[in-house]
Chains A and B, each alone.
Chain A
């Protein structure tokens, strides 16, 4: 972690932030010493001057140099900011800890109070407190500091409760670790880094808050001055010299940015970089195929390669030359462990990989449609009607905001050019086919009113709204219980029988695939290892396939023997290339 932090510091952003911090620190420590004289030297003849080489920010009504005053004001601005941030953090930590150790009723009360305080903007809280403590620098510091306590109180209690709810804290508790030990060894180390990040970012907010209060005349009072006060004085004579106001403004904004960048730098989470789109390429000449004979394969892929943009900006190939074909009405299973490239292959066949992917192949055709190109509008319509998808997570594969009926009707209405009533009738039919009772009423419901198994069956029904030739099911039952798995598979098979569509079933469960499919394709590390008929698994020749079959205990495994273990195998060279 520390080496990573050092690496972060060496990036251009890191160096910029460090430079900014050093400048602010220097101005805070040495500013009043070096520029104090220039900042207080009056020059009645040269008062209220505009910006010039001699006085870049101009002079004030007593002829004092404003640039020098801005530099001198750094100390008081920064110190008050740090003081107020300190009050917020310390107060927030105390409130958060007190809230964490209180019995549940009192904890609820404190949390409710924090909620209510959080609903008020800091400025109102700060104004309230500054009524009490008066319009002085100290009063403003207390006001801004106290106004920030709810923010940190909430942060600490959220962080602490998230750590306290994790399994490693449970494990410590089971092992007999005292609450104090658990707090010191587990909770504090895990909430400190995010707290630090937020402290730096909060300092930036505090600085602006302070400037605002002083700007309103409620903070630092004459003859003392901070940036907010200088801005206030500058704003009054903005007609004469805009720099008098802009100068302190620049100081405020830049310092604020330095603080918040410091927070971002502490943060270990790398900001999501924007990915550059990768082009889709087809190495084959695109041949126009106008008629698709019913005996031709539904899917034909030759030497399919899929690459993704990696974090370091390079490109990593995840599928290395897969060839496969699916005949009409055939049920094909792709089996593999995580990282085998089975889902990526399926998504490439469906043409649904995101813009950060690169699909290359000699051939990648779905019923005459070249899936490596952007489809034409006619092709889009055919894809919508002829391909159906079912994904792993039933909770998120249906849109939570739209009724199930609307999501089913959509394909028919948009691509099938069916009227609403006809589409509705068809949806009822489809839902009934996947054995969801009371279909008409169910169509009016939102997905969260469906159970997980029903949602997957609704996804299957959605595929039935067109005239599917291929149903791609990517781990459709992994998230479900076995008895529910059976219902979903039954619906899938019913759908296949009633439409004659082919099925491409992706799964990690070789027993499941062997029991459901006609043919099994075994994948590992982005390559096809072996391909064989589902009823001939015992004839598997590749050691990985044999290992995969043997290592999973089934209802007939010998309980007295250890499970065979798959040899980790030769390390797979990750193919990397840097795309300019």
Chain B
């Protein structure tokens, strides 16, 4: 006997609740809703405000990143063999000798003008490196997300309908087990497996690099399969829940054809939950590019962040961390806006 409203004890459910509602926010929402008139608009305003606050936190965090490193980051970056003069020169170049307030102002000014500093290792402007590499990462993430989202709906709906009918029990268990395995296998491991099977074994796709369409296939599969399985399961669970709702019984009592029953009556009611889960997936995909780019040697910002951390190239680290954080915020905001636009009863605002 557990307490009824406790969240389901699974790690996914914990991760999949990015919009938990604090008891107080309802009250605040009421006031805002009264002010702007529409619950939908109030929701959008709240989410925009949250994105702005998040952005401020991200800016502050990425600025202080260097200052939080214990000891002397400059010395750490250059190694113990370099002369004190060189250390001092780099410190001056990075502006670390200035007062903290001045440093922060310079940092913000740099951000506005697009000047993110110069990489310690390559001596190239960080902004230029990022601009060159970001499109690759974006392409990888977006294509993978589209693959995952497009695949998840048919799989989730079909498995839910089949498992409710209970007629194909063995197949249902098999598919559900397969999805479970795909969720459990981490993407970097899957990437290694894909390379060993399709590149080394079958020689069907190149194992590394970026540029030709054939080089896109394996990274996208490696990145998309886990989220695809996860989203399929969310769609499956949500669909099963909706299929047991009284309004679906109402629809069945109208003897509607299956197509209308599932597409018109069931699907719209899983949109909100699926989109929310989709947000988690999208954000996870963005982060997953770090691993996939490293495995497939793809020149995106993901492989950059790893090499820059290893090299203690702080200006570059700062830049990449900032870009990643902004990508995550943008992904979250995008999902929120989609929720506001698609959720038919604006349940989001009632929550």
Residues in chain A within 8 A of chain B (CB atoms): 1, 104, 107-108, 111-112, 115-116, 118-124, 127-128, 130-135, 151, 154-155, 158-159, 161-163, 165-166, 190-191, 193-194, 197-198, 201-202, 204-205, 208, 211-212, 215-218, 231, 234-235, 238-239, 242, 245-246, 249, 252-253, 256-257, 260, 263-264, 266-269, 274-277, 350, 352, 354-356, 375, 380-381, 383-384, 387-389, 391-393, 396-402, 407, 410-411, 414-415, 446, 448, 459, 462
B251 near A: Cβ within 8 Å? yes
User: Closest approach, in angstroms, between the C-beta of B260 and any C-beta of chain A?
Assistant: 7
A448 contacts across to B, CB distance below 8 A? 345, 350
When the two chains form their complex, are residues A120 and B328 in contact, meaning their CB atoms are under 8 A apart? yes
When the two chains form their complex, are residues A391 and B309 in contact, meaning their CB atoms are under 8 A apart? no
A107 contacts across to B, CB distance below 8 A? 22, 24
Q: Mark B23-56, 1 if CB is under 8 A from A, else 0.
A: 1110000000000000000000000001001100
Q: Which single member of B186, B207, B254, B309 contacts A131 (CB below 8 Å)?
A: B309
Q: List 18 A-B contacts (CB under 8 A).
A: A111-B22, A132-B68, A155-B14, A159-B6, A191-B6, A208-B186, A246-B196, A263-B10, A264-B10, A269-B8, A277-B165, A389-B249, A397-B247, A401-B345, A414-B256, A414-B257, A446-B345, A448-B345
When the two chains form their complex, are residues A116 and B249 in contact, meaning their CB atoms are under 8 A apart? no
Number of interface residues of B (CB under 8 A): 94
When the two chains form their complex, are residues A119 and B68 in contact, meaning their CB atoms are under 8 A apart? no
What DSSP secondary structure best describes chain B's contact surface?
Answer: helix
User: Closest approach, in angstroms, between the C-beta of B236 and any C-beta of chain A?
Assistant: 11
- A253→B185 CA distance, assembly (Å): 6
User: Closest approach, in angstroms, between the C-beta of B177 and any C-beta of chain A?
Assistant: 12
Task: List 17 other contacts, CB 8 Å, given A133-B70, A135-B309, A135-B310.
Answer: A108-B22, A123-B291, A132-B68, A154-B20, A190-B2, A212-B291, A231-B189, A239-B200, A246-B193, A249-B192, A252-B186, A263-B11, A264-B10, A355-B165, A391-B250, A397-B249, A401-B344
A193's closest neighbor in chain B, by CB? B2
B332 near A: Cβ within 8 Å? yes
A120-B7 contact in complex given A215-B188, A396-B246, C-beta closer than 8 Å: no
Q: Which single member of A120, A154, A165, A238 contacts B17 (CB below 8 Å)?
A: A154
B173 near A: Cβ within 8 Å? yes
B129 near A: Cβ within 8 Å? no
When the two chains form their complex, are residues B189 and A256 in contact, meaning their CB atoms are under 8 A apart? no
B9's closest neighbor in chain A, by CB? A197
Question: Which of B70, B192, B244, B268 has the largest number of chain A CB atoms within 10 A?
Answer: B192
B24 contacts across to A, CB distance below 8 A? 104, 107-108
When the two chains form their complex, are residues B247 and A399 in contact, meaning their CB atoms are under 8 A apart? yes
- A151→B309 CA distance, assembly (Å): 25
When the two chains form their complex, are residues B65 and A217 in contact, meaning their CB atoms are under 8 A apart? no
Q: Which single member of A131, A197, A235 contacts B69 (CB below 8 Å)?
A: A131
- A354→B18 CA distance, assembly (Å): 34
B115 near A: Cβ within 8 Å? no
- A123→B271 CA distance, assembly (Å): 27
When the two chains form their complex, are residues B65 and A132 in contact, meaning their CB atoms are under 8 A apart? yes
B308's closest neighbor in chain A, by CB? A131
Residues in chain B within 8 A of chain A (CB atoms): 1-3, 5-11, 14-15, 17-20, 22-25, 50, 53-54, 57, 61, 65, 68-70, 76, 163-167, 169, 172-173, 184-186, 188-189, 192-193, 195-196, 200-201, 207, 244-257, 260, 264-265, 268-269, 271, 283-284, 286-288, 290-291, 294-295, 305-306, 309-310, 317, 321, 324-325, 328-329, 332, 344-345, 347, 350
A120-B254 contact in complex given A108-B22, A115-B20, A446-B344, C-beta closer than 8 Å: no
User: Closest approach, in angstroms, between the C-beta of A283 and any C-beta of chain B?
Assistant: 23
B1 contacts across to A, CB distance below 8 A? 1, 268
- A380→B255 CA distance, assembly (Å): 6
User: Closest approach, in angstroms, between the C-beta of A480 and any C-beta of chain B?
Assistant: 15
When the two chains form their complex, are residues A123 and B288 in contact, meaning their CB atoms are under 8 A apart? yes
When the two chains form their complex, are residues A396 and B255 in contact, meaning their CB atoms are under 8 A apart? no
- A391→B246 CA distance, assembly (Å): 8
When the two chains form their complex, are residues A115 and B50 in contact, meaning their CB atoms are under 8 A apart? yes
B197's closest neighbor in chain A, by CB? A242
When the two chains form their complex, are residues A245 and B328 in contact, meaning their CB atoms are under 8 A apart? no
When the two chains form their complex, are residues A212 and B186 in contact, meaning their CB atoms are under 8 A apart? yes
A274-B172 contact in complex given A201-B11, A215-B291, A355-B166, C-beta closer than 8 Å: yes
User: Closest approach, in angstroms, between the C-beta of A250 and any C-beta of chain B?
Assistant: 9
When the two chains form their complex, are residues B268 and A402 in contact, meaning their CB atoms are under 8 A apart? yes
Q: Which single member of A151, A198, A383, A398 contacts B255 (CB below 8 Å)?
A: A383
When the two chains form their complex, are residues B344 and A130 in contact, meaning their CB atoms are under 8 A apart? no
B163 contacts across to A, CB distance below 8 A? 274
When the two chains form their complex, are residues A216 and B61 in contact, meaning their CB atoms are under 8 A apart? no
A115 contacts across to B, CB distance below 8 A? 18-20, 50
B317 contacts across to A, CB distance below 8 A? 131
Q: Which single member of B9, B173, B192, B321 contacts A238 (CB below 8 Å)?
A: B192
Q: Which single member of B164, B283, B325, B344 contacts A400 (CB below 8 Å)?
A: B344
User: Closest approach, in angstroms, between the C-beta of B116 and any C-beta of chain A?
Assistant: 16
Q: Ordered nearest first, which 10 A-B pairs have the shortest CB separation?
A: A277-B166, A401-B268, A121-B287, A197-B9, A242-B196, A201-B11, A384-B255, A123-B287, A380-B255, A401-B344
User: Closest approach, in angstroms, between the C-beta of A276 and any C-beta of chain B?
Assistant: 5
A131 contacts across to B, CB distance below 8 A? 65, 69, 309, 317, 321
Q: Which single member of B54, B255, B291 contacts A116 (CB below 8 Å)?
A: B54
When the two chains form their complex, are residues B247 and A356 in contact, meaning their CB atoms are under 8 A apart? no
B248's closest neighbor in chain A, by CB? A399
B248 contacts across to A, CB distance below 8 A? 399
A198 contacts across to B, CB distance below 8 A? 9-11, 14
Q: Which single member of A108, A190, A249, A398 contacts B25 (CB below 8 Å)?
A: A108
User: Closest approach, in angstroms, between the C-beta of B38 and any C-beta of chain A?
Assistant: 13
A124-B328 contact in complex given A194-B9, A410-B254, C-beta closer than 8 Å: yes
User: Closest approach, in angstroms, between the C-beta of B65 and any C-beta of chain A?
Assistant: 6
B294's closest neighbor in chain A, by CB? A216
User: Closest approach, in angstroms, between the C-beta of B150 and any C-beta of chain A?
Assistant: 22
Q: Which single member of A122, A158, A277, A389 contacts B253 (CB below 8 Å)?
A: A389
A463's closest neighbor in chain B, by CB? B253
When the two chains form their complex, are residues B247 and A400 in contact, meaning their CB atoms are under 8 A apart? yes
Question: Which of A119, A124, A275, A400 has the largest number of chain B CB atoms within 10 A?
Answer: A119
- A429→B247 CA distance, assembly (Å): 23
When the two chains form their complex, are residues B245 and A396 in contact, meaning their CB atoms are under 8 A apart? yes
- A357→B82 CA distance, assembly (Å): 79
B15 contacts across to A, CB distance below 8 A? 151
When the two chains form their complex, are residues A127 and B290 in contact, meaning their CB atoms are under 8 A apart? yes
Q: Which single member of B2, B65, B255, B344 contacts A268 (CB below 8 Å)?
A: B2
User: Closest approach, in angstroms, between the C-beta of A312 and any C-beta of chain B?
Assistant: 16
Q: Which single member of A128, A253, A399 contacts B321 (CB below 8 Å)?
A: A128
- A38→B326 CA distance, assembly (Å): 48
A268 contacts across to B, CB distance below 8 A? 1-2
When the two chains form their complex, are residues A162 and B6 in contact, meaning their CB atoms are under 8 A apart? yes
When the two chains form their complex, are residues B309 and A130 in contact, meaning their CB atoms are under 8 A apart? yes
B193 contacts across to A, CB distance below 8 A? 246, 249
When the two chains form their complex, are residues A124 and B23 in contact, meaning their CB atoms are under 8 A apart? no
- A124→B249 CA distance, assembly (Å): 45
- A557→B161 CA distance, assembly (Å): 52
- A161→B25 CA distance, assembly (Å): 14
Question: Which of B14, B18, B189, B201 has the largest number of chain A CB atoms within 10 A?
Answer: B189
When the two chains form their complex, are residues B306 and A352 in contact, meaning their CB atoms are under 8 A apart? no
B9 contacts across to A, CB distance below 8 A? 194, 197-198, 201, 263, 266-267, 269
When the two chains form their complex, are residues A269 and B2 in contact, meaning their CB atoms are under 8 A apart? yes
Q: Which single member of A201, A216, A257 contacts B290 (CB below 8 Å)?
A: A216
A382's closest neighbor in chain B, by CB? B255
- A410→B167 CA distance, assembly (Å): 29
A133 contacts across to B, CB distance below 8 A? 70
A159's closest neighbor in chain B, by CB? B6
A387's closest neighbor in chain B, by CB? B253
